[in-house]
Structure 1
Amino acid sequence: MEQKKLDLNSIIGFVLIFGIMIWIFYQNQPSKEEQAKKAKQEQVQKVQQAESQKPLVKASTLDTAQVVNNPLALGSFAYSATLPSAKNDFTIIENNLLILKIANKGGYIAEATLKNFKQFSKDSNKLVKLVSDNNAGLNIQLQTKDNRVLNTKDLFFEPTLFKSGKNQILSMKLKAGENQFLEYKYILNENQYMLDFDVRSQGLSTVLNTTKPADLEWDLKSYRNEKSVKYESIHTELIYEYEGGKDSYLGQAAEEKTIEGLSYVAFKQNFFSSILLTNKPFKTSKVSSQNLVKDDKTDTIFTKNFKAILPLAFNNGEIDYKMNWYYGPTDFKILNAYNRNLDELISLGWGIFGWINRFIFIPLFGVLGSFIPYGIAIIIFTIIIKLAMSPITYKSFLSQAKMKVLRPEITELNEKYAKEPMKKQQETMKLYNKAGVNPMAGCIPALIQMPFLYASFQFFPSAIELRQKGFLWADDLSSFDSVLKLPFHIPFYGDHVSLFPILASIAIFFYMRMTTGDQAMQAPQQEGMPDMGKIMKVMIYVSPIMMLFIFNSYGSGLSLYNFISNLITIGIMFVIKNYIVDDKKIHAQIQENKLKEPKKPGKFQQKIQQAMEQAEAQKAQQKKK
């Protein structure tokens, strides 16, 4: 049988067919982008299969390397581990007041620096940092539909920074897919310590369990920023607003509270604060505070440990909250300007004490401090307050002078009715009424001055204007004015000597000698009662010593105010005693009043007389029985 041979045309046909097949095979190969997408889909499928077979692994237990290399731990957010941002990197946004450093991992503020404030002293080269070196954290706990718990602090966000007018806008997205994500949006404007902070989710209703809120956890370990860690710790506290305008705080001891309708929580660090505010109040929140200064000689880095757990409710399966962060000074003018009730962070005192600070002290001191050095401003401020109070001082001293003139007659009544205390009181009241002297007149002016004294104890420790402002030997009027460093520590006093508290203690000693001394001589001893005269004499010496110990570590501005205040009062009383009040004229006036018809006693005196008469009548009836 004859074999067929391949001719030239057959060979050319085979070559063409083979070439066409190679071309078709090459054209049908997927591109690099398609290959990457396919690989990612295969990876997610493997993760989902493995998740159904393996036990639960919480992302919070993994470090950065584990999170990147083990997408299984991310569950539905495995997509985020494959993004270019899945590394320990940061994005910085800043204005002329504030520098914020936001981490890819966790999407939270890893560093908050205040540009215009220095730590400890004005000569320091360190700026105040409210957040730094992992002293703060932000985390949202998410629960998936298959009951896994994921923590955003361990997951990687994708940053996108852009500008809109004067605003810097940073979007941080934690992605579970191309159109599935949790977003933190930071919006910082110029000349502001306050920034917008929005938290929202998109497309996660199919991934997350939305039957209960997701907990936002915010914690901060507050750094010490002032010279006196003890003084700073006293004024470092957690403050919060709830139920549409009420405000409260946690005390100095370790404390935890559950709060309904919380609208802001503030971690106040004496002169600086970190605040989280929300337009949509959190339903049931938990806040806690722990004091970290057990011993001010060794606990010198941190003051308090704060924590807040805030529930983010789902709406139609998604999270959507408009919030704000504030990182800045605890300054009354700045906080009050926001009209968000943030002025409550400044401890001005309650009731009348707060009114005095808000409407008298703050405006007056603000005007003085705007054009003269703050040390001089304190002195002029004190002079104005004391001169305004001088008529009350005059009334008080005049009453003391009248009581002094009546002292011989009161002593005579005490001796005459020594065994009849009720009768002695009645006759003494009659003498006061006949002489036209009100024994309460000396107390009432003193009581009127007390709110101003208490208000000053609230105002000066809160005045950030005094921070790192010097006067004479004091380099910081908001802190102690140490003139001598001791080689040892005195309990309740410290290891330094402050001069302004010494001057204030000397001034208060002489002031009490002029006032309490006379009152001690006038105070009659009642049968069965302590000798008030002796107690008052002891207080003349005890009070200055107590003040010396208490104020040694307090702000020198407050001690300066007390020193000048008592000095001026001593001067005013010296002038009144020696040039205005005449004991002979007062005596003559009292004798003239005795000849007149006694004034009708006031309602208060009438009630006292009636009470004494009833008591005397009951006593007489008991004797008859």
Structure 2
Amino acid sequence: MEEKKFDLNSFIGFILIFGILVYMLYRNQPTPEELAEQEKQKQEQVEQEKQDTSANSQVANYRDSTNVVSDSLKLEQLKGQLGSFAYSASLPSANDKQTVVETDLLKLTFSNKGGYLSEVMLKKYHNYDSIPIYIIKDGNAEFNLTFGTTDNRTLNTANLYFQPEITNNGDNTIVTMRLKASEQQYLEYRYELQPDNYMMGFSIRSQGLSNVINGSQEIDLNWGISTYRHARSISYENRYTELVYEYEDGKDDYLGQSEVTETTESDITYVAYKQHFFTSVLLSETPFKTGYLKSENLVKDEEIDTVFTKRFKAKLPLELQAGELNKQMDWYYGPSDYKILNSYDRNLDEILPLGWGIFGWINRYIFIPVFGFLSSFLPYGIAIIVLTILVRIIMSPVTYKSYLSQAKMKVIKPEIAEINEKYKDNAMKKQQETMALYGKAGVNPMAGCLPALMQLPVFYALFQFFPSAFDLRQKSFLWADDLSSYDTIAKLPFHIPFYGDHVSLFPLLASLAIFFYMRMTTGQQVASQPTQEGMPDMGKMMKVMIYISPVMMLFFFNNYASGLSLYYFVSNLITIGIMLVIKNYIIDEDKIHNKIQENKKKPKKQNKFQRKMQEMMEQAEQQKKNQKRK
């Protein structure tokens, strides 16, 4: 390796460079005058910063003390857009903040923008996924006043900012939302909440706006909502989700289940957006003169996990009084519970589909009170069974009459067959002899049908009662965890049209009970019905129905409330038991036959109707003979 040696030339070069740098630093250092000038500039910069800070503080203090925007250009722009209501947009409340108020039953969130409820939560209830029930949330509802101004503007309150204020009136909480044109001029929404009440007072009024609101243009209250799904079966829930309204001094109606339905009615006193077990209602003390209502079905495919069921809209005009608004109303956000709705004495029980006429009467005055009493001390599933037993016991005389009539018809069936054979070529004579036999034997062929017709109002009333029974919601019994929804014993890996993707046990048991019940009754009916030439074979038709009816029941009720299927299962079991008792221990066909034979020997006095029918048949027979002679 080459040995490194000291290089004198490199050392001299480094010394010269260092000397040059020292000389340059010495020559460029500031003079005393320059140092004084720099110090002066630093002092001036500090003073300027202090002045700027003081000015900013004064501006902030000014804004806080006056609560107005100091930017005159921005204020002028707002005036150009909003006219008199530019003042509301210049206030500190002109933001998207929200005000939360809670009662014992409700948690309500009011939004500064629009002044309306942005959230409504029912504190005591949860849906099938254990999520709290929200009627309004995440922008699914809208509330808006549309009106014209005297400076030719059209404003929507949903886009404007209200100033909130909360006060107390005794136990009641009052939330006031004001859309201000000035401190003394405003449009006000006033909500009055009671501690243990789903109904809240609501009013819309204005002050000092007679020269602002254009009274010659229509002022519209627009209220809409997309109803959330709360139940497991969306098809079942959607079937009972509908828009109901009251109009013309107490009449009530609903828009139905079509894809899109709309109507215009007069003198509307309330509009209800019913979501099967939960309801939103806007009520007015003085009727809206007219109203446009619309319902739209949002469930296009029941196999898809849909968030919303229906979309409801209402457009209701408001009227000025002496140039100002003053409309007294109420809001109801709560359960579709008959006891709660009926307690307000405002015809709100009509929101529930209890049935029209006698069907609704049976539900209101019999089944609802009786079931309410039973469920007050019994588990709900047991209460359904006890109610079913009571209904079947009360209807057992009707069942007995029906079975007795069929037994009588069975006894005289051979004699009717003889009449049919003897007068097979003379229909009129055959009819006369058959009616005469019925009269002598004391048999009424319609007696078997009338009891069945008498039971129809009860069956239909119960069919309407169970889907409307709020008390059954989320109440369990045996394997069913919710009697207001379908029970599930197995999930299918595919979807069967009209049936679903699950197997419910209660509908299956009810279908089996119907099958055995129909086998019993159909066999009796076939045995008792005489055959008629030229008429379809009723026996074959009834035998086909033995198999069709249970299958229809199975498909129809698989997505229905398990409480309803439980009722039909128990009801058919009890009916089968009653009929077996009647057949084996009460009715003796030999005694019936002997009784009929005794009746034949007795002279039978005809009533006016029977005499009239006899005379008409004889006249028809005589006319037929006269025609043959000609």
Both proteins in one fold, TM over 0.5:
yes
Q: CA deviation at 1:420?
A: 2.1
Aligned pair partner of 1:105 in 113, 130, 134 = 113
Aligned pair partner of 2:345 in 339, 342, 349 = 339
Q: Which amino acid aligns with 1:193?
A: Y
**Higher alpha-carbon Rg:** 2
Is the alpha carbon distance of 1:501 and 1:270 closer, same or farther for their aligned partners in structure 2, counting shifts above 3 Å?
A: same
Q: Distance in 2 between matches of 1:596 and 1:264?
A: 65
Aligned pair partner of 1:78 in 69, 86, 102 = 86
Q: Deviations over 1:397-450 (max 9, x none)?
A: 111111111111111112222222222221111001001111122211111111
Aligned pairs (5 A) from 1:465-544: 465-544=471-550
Q: Does 1:154 align with 2:163?
A: no
Stretch of structure 1 that moved more, 152-161 or 139-148:
139-148
Aligned pair partner of 1:92 in 96, 100, 105 = 100
Aligned pairs (5 A) from 1:175-254: 175-253=180-258, 254=260
8 Å CA contact 2:409–2:529 kept in 1: the answer is no
Q: Distance in 2 between matches of 1:243 and 1:281?
A: 9
Q: Distance in 1 between matches of 2:150 and 2:74?
A: 17
8 Å CA contact 1:44–1:78 kept in 2: the answer is no
Is the alpha carbon distance of 1:444 and 1:187 closer, same or farther for their aligned partners in structure 2, counting shifts above 3 Å?
A: same
- Alpha-carbon RMSD across the aligned residues, in angstroms, is 2.1
SS in 2 for 1:545: helix
**2:561 corresponding residue in structure 1:** 555
**1:545 corresponding residue in structure 2:** 551
Q: CA deviation at 1:71?
A: 5.0
SS in 1 for 2:310: strand
Q: Does 1:132 align with 2:137?
A: yes
Stretch of structure 1 that moved more, 29-38 or 348-357:
29-38
SS in 1 for 2:453: helix
Q: Distance in 1 between matches of 2:596 and 2:218?
A: 77
SS in 1 for 2:180: strand
Aligned pair partner of 1:309 in 315, 319, 327 = 315
Q: Deviations over 1:358-415 (max 9, x none)?
A: 1110010000011110000000000011101111111111111111111111111122
**1:353 corresponding residue in structure 2:** 359
Stretch of structure 1 that moved more, 615-624 or 311-320:
615-624
Identity %: 60
8 Å CA contact 2:411–2:528 kept in 1: the answer is no
Q: Which amino acid aligns with 2:499?
A: Y
Q: CA deviation at 1:128?
A: 0.7
Q: Distance in 1 between matches of 2:582 and 2:604?
A: 28
Aligned pairs (5 A) from 1:247-286: 247-253=252-258, 254-286=260-292
**1:7 corresponding residue in structure 2:** none
8 Å CA contact 1:212–1:314 kept in 2: the answer is no
Q: CA deviation at 1:615?
A: 4.0
8 Å CA contact 1:238–1:266 kept in 2: the answer is yes
Q: Distance in 2 between matches of 1:41 and 1:282?
A: 43
Structure 2 unpaired stretches of 5+: 1-57
Is the alpha carbon distance of 1:613 and 1:478 closer, same or farther for their aligned partners in structure 2, counting shifts above 3 Å?
A: farther
**1:22 corresponding residue in structure 2:** none
Q: TM-score, normalised by structure 2?
A: 0.87
Q: Does 1:456 align with 2:462?
A: yes
Is the alpha carbon distance of 1:36 and 1:576 closer, same or farther for their aligned partners in structure 2, counting shifts above 3 Å?
A: closer
Is the alpha carbon distance of 1:502 and 1:45 closer, same or farther for their aligned partners in structure 2, counting shifts above 3 Å?
A: closer
Q: CA deviation at 1:616?
A: 3.4
**1:572 corresponding residue in structure 2:** 578
Q: Distance in 1 between matches of 2:585 and 2:608?
A: 32
Q: CA deviation at 1:152?
A: 0.1
Is the alpha carbon distance of 1:614 and 1:513 closer, same or farther for their aligned partners in structure 2, counting shifts above 3 Å?
A: farther
Q: Which amino acid aligns with 2:253?
A: S
Q: CA deviation at 1:613?
A: 3.8
8 Å CA contact 1:236–1:269 kept in 2: the answer is yes
8 Å CA contact 2:116–2:143 kept in 1: the answer is yes
8 Å CA contact 2:67–2:91 kept in 1: the answer is no
Q: Deviations over 1:166-214 (max 9, x none)?
A: 1000000000111111000000001100000110011111111012431
SS in 2 for 1:418: coil
Q: TM-score, normalised by structure 1?
A: 0.88
Is the alpha carbon distance of 1:303 and 1:428 closer, same or farther for their aligned partners in structure 2, counting shifts above 3 Å?
A: same
Is the alpha carbon distance of 1:88 and 1:403 closer, same or farther for their aligned partners in structure 2, counting shifts above 3 Å?
A: same
Aligned pair partner of 1:142 in 134, 139, 147 = 147
Structure 1 unpaired stretches of 5+: 1-28, 48-69
Q: CA deviation at 1:599?
A: 3.5
Is the alpha carbon distance of 1:607 and 1:116 closer, same or farther for their aligned partners in structure 2, counting shifts above 3 Å?
A: farther
8 Å CA contact 2:413–2:530 kept in 1: the answer is no
**1:11 corresponding residue in structure 2:** none
